[in-house]
Chain A
Amino acid sequence: MRASLIEEVAFQLIKRASIVLPKDVKSSLQKAYEEETSKLGKTQLKAIIDNITIAERLNSPVCQDTGIVSFFIKGRSLDHKALEESLRRATIRATKEVPLRPNAVHPLTRKNSGDNTGLHIPGVTLMYEDADYVDITATLKGGGSENMSALYMIPPGEGIEGVKRVVLETIVNAGGQPCPPTVVNIGIGGTVDLTFKLAKMAMIRPLGVRHPEEEVARLEKELLELVNSTGIGPMGLGGRTTALDVKIEYAYCHTASLPVGINLQCWADRRATARIYPDGSWKILN
């Protein structure tokens, strides 16, 4: 696959993700607005929906924090080096042309690169898929919600009850800070590097799509109900919509451990996916 094609598609994806929220997010926010019973909560959902509409009309990013850019790529026989180069160039171009706010800094010196790239940034995750097309997803992750991430090592004996406890704890601690309604993306199991990777893989699954395994799907639904019974509500001002969805991905783990990685996504759940075919044609999937 040509590097210039990947770069162009990646650029278009970043641009789209920053301006247009995915259909599943928009309809979920609309449903939340209709079902919200708290008056204050409703004002916040209305402001969010108005903001999304105006952003699309003006071709402006939905939020001033355009986040950190990450890519998730599915396909086979991918040339890692060429891919990373193209994605980096796409990010630099999008920063200038959309424009995006330059957010990427050195973690210690805090020096800003000015173009949203730096060591290991944009993040690139490659996933093998036995298909002749390549799927690229671009995500923009805001700082306010990312700052509310939490890793717990639960005593395995506590089991599913422990998972519920730490999810609630995280949501309550976060309050209004991650700009709720949030999407709660959870990685369970693995060694801890994988735990958060799983949470990020949950992040790119559309809202409302349940995990294929019955037991996990049930836990997703139970957790969503629990989170929305806290009453934290939109922007933490009270109400029934604290989260739009809860999604889980899991991996096997050590018999002595039960790692749970919780990554909150704000209402600005910005992601865009495109499929590139072998003949070089491509289309946006969400």
Chain B
Amino acid sequence: MVEYKLTTPLKEEDVRKLSIEDVVYVSGIIYTARDMAHRRFIELAEKGQKPPVQMDGAVIYHAGPVVRKLDGEWEVVSAGPTTSSRMNRVTPTLLKYYTIRMIIGKGGMSREVADALKERGAVYCHYTGGAAVLAAKCVKRVVKVEWLDLGVPEALWVLEVEDFGPLIVTMDAQGNSLYEKLELEVSKRVRGMLRR
């Protein structure tokens, strides 16, 4: 369990050195994206068009923030992670089109995503489920919002964060998944418990 502080945009060597169980704090710019934004990212790439944000070394956060407007400025009230497995199907395609270096969410992702992360040089990090105000506290500023037509939670929020974390690396760029490792251990233990 090594602790790292990383700054965006992330470089390939920043994330290749990370292993499962490491703790990371990210500073810089992150993008929130849920189901709908994923779909739009892919549609744009397929049409050969560019998204409205810089994607080289990007950090994607699976979250739909609660926001309010104060004196014309957006403010993030809460920004906990959403369940990442909903994005399992589209993520390998997203990683093919863009050089995303880190995905943040809760609950982990599939083996297909783990393989894609390894191939492209990216990691998946877990953020504590429900820790919404803790997350919001790390958000220094809403830089801008795109795709508001998708609705507030599904829009692409560009957030400037400082020491966003603790993030736990649960799927690293070597293809390891902490979820798979723990699942094996848990099922072995439970089998033992029921046999008694």
Footprint of B on A, CB under 8 Å? 39-40, 43-44, 46-48, 50-51, 54-55, 58, 60-65, 101, 142, 144, 164-165, 168, 172, 175-177, 179, 226, 229-232, 235-238, 266-268
Q: Is B142 an interface residue (CB 8 A)?
A: no
- Inside 8 A of B21's CB, which chain A residues have their CB? 40
Instruction: Give Cα A164 to B196, complex, Å.
Output: 12
Chain B, Cβ-Cβ closest to A50: B134
- Inside 8 A of A54's CB, which chain B residues have their CB? 133-134, 137
Partner of A179, one of B78, B130, B134, B193: B130
A interface footprint on B122-149 (CB within 8 Å = 1, 0 otherwise): 0000101111111011000000000000
Instruction: Give Cα A55 to B168, complex, Å.
Output: 22
Cross-chain contact B137 with A142 (CB below 8 angstroms) = no
Interface residues of B in 102-133 (CB under 8 A from A): 106-108, 126, 128-133
Cross-chain contact B186 with A172 (CB below 8 angstroms) = yes
Q: Is B7 an interface residue (CB 8 A)?
A: no
Partner of A176, one of B129, B136, B190: B129
Cross-chain contact A60 with B130 (CB below 8 angstroms) = no
Partner of B129, one of A40, A60, A179, A226: A179
Partner of A231, one of B106, B130, B136, B189: B189
| Contacts A172-B187, A172-B190 given; does A237 touch B178 at CB 8 Å | yes
Interface size on B, residues (CB 8 A): 38
- In the complex, how many residue pairs between chain A and chain B have their CB atoms under 8 Å apart? 115
Partner of B186, one of A39, A46, A165, A232: A232
- Inside 8 A of B190's CB, which chain A residues have their CB? 168, 172, 230
What are 12 A-B contacts with C-beta separation under 8 Å? A40-B1, A43-B23, A47-B166, A60-B78, A60-B136, A64-B64, A64-B65, A64-B79, A64-B132, A172-B186, A177-B107, A230-B193
Interface residues of B in 150-187 (CB under 8 A from A): 166, 168, 170, 178-179, 182-183, 185-187
Q: Is B53 an interface residue (CB 8 A)?
A: no
Interface residues of B in 76-102 (CB under 8 A from A): 77-80, 83
Q: Is B66 an interface residue (CB 8 A)?
A: yes
Cross-chain contact A55 with B83 (CB below 8 angstroms) = no
Within the complex, what minimum Cβ distance (angstroms) separates A280 from chain B?
A: 34
- Inside 8 A of B186's CB, which chain A residues have their CB? 172, 175, 230-232
Partner of A43, one of B106, B107, B168, B179: B168
| Contacts A235-B126, A266-B130 given; does A165 touch B194 at CB 8 Å | yes
Chain B, Cβ-Cβ closest to A169: B190
Instruction: Give Cα A232 to B65, complex, Å.
Output: 28
Instruction: Give Cα A232 to B23, complex, Å.
Output: 19
Instruction: Give Cα A165 to B193, complex, Å.
Output: 9
Chain B, Cβ-Cβ closest to A165: B194
Chain B, Cβ-Cβ closest to A142: B130
Cross-chain contact B131 with A60 (CB below 8 angstroms) = no
Within the complex, what minimum Cβ distance (angstroms) separates A88 from chain B?
A: 23
Instruction: Give Cα A249 to B185, complex, Å.
Output: 31
Known: A144-B129, A226-B193, A237-B126. 5 other contacts (CB 8 A): A43-B166, A50-B131, A51-B131, A63-B130, A268-B130
